[in-house]
Amino acid sequence: MLRARTLSLVAGALAAFSVCGCSGYRVVRKDSALGPVRRVAVQTLENHSFEPGIEVMVSDALRREFQRGGGVVVVADPAQADLVLSGTVLDLVTSARSFSAVAFGLEYQVELRLALTARRADGNVMVLDPNALRDWELYLTSADVEAERKNRDEALRRLASVLASRVRESLAERLARSQ
């Protein structure tokens, strides 16, 4: 008897929660993640920094982000895309952030800035917010040159991934508003 009563109370509570649920949430299908955009092309960015290969690293991070997010297909040919992403890796700024007692650098900060545009198939161009396209990361120095290079590369990969995620989120928000 007590068990039946408990089960009926739980069922009633679940029914009440489902009726009184928040109406602010909605189910988002993966295929509508970027609104009408189904195919995205990411052109390899231009490199205006002195860091060799950074443009390839960031371009690859952008492609991976769109593939990971689902809902769109990344295509190589811009003529087949609903949205073409292009732009530039701006200057890469590295500066010392913390020092030892004898004035050796312990940590460096690297700042990555991008300038991107997204062109839709109808010719409309969306310039992305420059504040969302810049970030910095700290990495440790080392007496071992290879270890320090690895730390810097990992910091740059994290930055590329974070900025790629911001680009996708920004585009999703803007395209959702334009519908």
* Least confident range of 22-31, 35-44, 79-88, 91-100: 22-31
pLDDT exceeds 90 at position 153: yes
pTM: 0.78
Mean pLDDT of all residues in the chain? 86
Higher pLDDT, 100 or 54: 54
pLDDT given for residue 47 in this prediction: 98
Task: Write out pLDDT tens, residues 67-90.
Answer: 998 889 999 999 999 999 999 999
SS3 106: strand
Higher pLDDT, 28 or 90: 90
**Binning pLDDT at 50, 70 and 90, where does residue 14 land?**
low
Task: Write out pLDDT tens, residues 83-126.
Answer: 999 999 998 999 988 877 665 668 999 999 999 999 999 999 99
Measured between alpha carbons, how far is residue 39 from residues 3, 29, 42, 80, 166 in Å? 55, 16, 10, 7, 19
In whole angstroms, give the CA distance from residue 80 to residue 75. 7
In whole angstroms, give the CA distance from residue 165 to residue 50. 24
